[in-house]
Amino acid sequence: MLKDAVRVATDYVAVMMADPGQARYTRAWLHSRKRSTLDLRVPWVPFRVIAAMEEHISKRSKVAEFGGGGSTLWFSDRVEEVVTVEHDLEWYPVLEQKVRDIPNSTLLYRSADSGYADYVNALSNFSDSYFDVIVVDGRERVRCFESAIPKLKPGGLLILDNSDRPRYASVFDLTEWSYVTYCGLTPTQTLLGQSTIWTKSPVVA
């Protein structure tokens, strides 16, 4: 316990020194400890990423996410449409119970069978440039990221959570879009979180 407390304190000090502006999230971060993002209705990404998404979206926005939870409820309160793709048979009914009466939320179950092919291609029936934001936070993230590229509007945000994991490194070679990586305090999480946000380049005539 003491070792964990020291680690948390060390990480917190490091974040505040590198990015003092994150102090504004301290109260919300402490409030979220030992609670679930589903109960809190917040995304499980760094507070900096939540702020960036909030600034980008509007009531007319369309959002897709690979992997749902608190983010599903958070988006449903703020956008016109949110499409969530889930593969987990145990988690799906938990989330389905939360969203079944939310008219702008569509929850898609896609099996992990056949190498996650149905899961990775879950957005194939949507027209290209349909979504304003796509969040990749489930399984097969590199493949989901690649399949999401044509479905995102120019100027839209494509977000990869846990972008510091080595197995996702190849994602950075998939586009030449500008991106920003955020590391810092994350709801319910003791350790620091990291996510990267890409902005899709405009179409050049």
Give Dmax (Cα) for the chain. Answer: 59
Q: How far apart are CA 10 and CA 8, in angstroms?
A: 5
pLDDT of residue 1 exceeding 80: no
Q: Is 143 within a domain?
A: yes
Q: What is the pTM of this model?
A: 0.95
Tokens of 101: 């009466």
Tell me what the pLDDT averaged over the chain comes to.
95
34 pLDDT band, cuts 50/70/90, is confident
DSSP 34: T
pLDDT score, position 148:
99
Q: What residue has token string 């008219």?
A: 103
Count up the domains in the chain and report the number. 1
% of the chain with per-residue pLDDT over 70: 98
For the segment 138-185, what is each residue's pLDDT rounded down to a tens digit? 999 999 999 999 999 999 999 999 999 999 999 999 999 999 999 999
Average pLDDT over residues 122-147: 98
Which residues fall within 8 angstroms of residue 169, CB to CB, at 6 or more apart?
none
Q: How far apart are CA 140 and CA 66, in angstroms?
A: 9
CATH number of the domain to which 138 belongs: 3.40.50.150
Q: Residue 202: phi, psi to the nearest 5?
A: -65, 155
Residue-range definition of the domain harbouring residue 60: 2-199
Q: Is 99 within a domain?
A: yes
- Partners of 65 in the β-ladder: 84, 135
Which residues fall within 8 angstroms of residue 62, CB to CB, at 6 or more apart?
79, 80, 81, 82, 83, 130, 131, 132, 133
Average pLDDT over residues 121-137: 98
Q: Can you tell me whether residue 184 is helix, strand or coil?
A: strand
Q: Is 175 within a domain?
A: yes
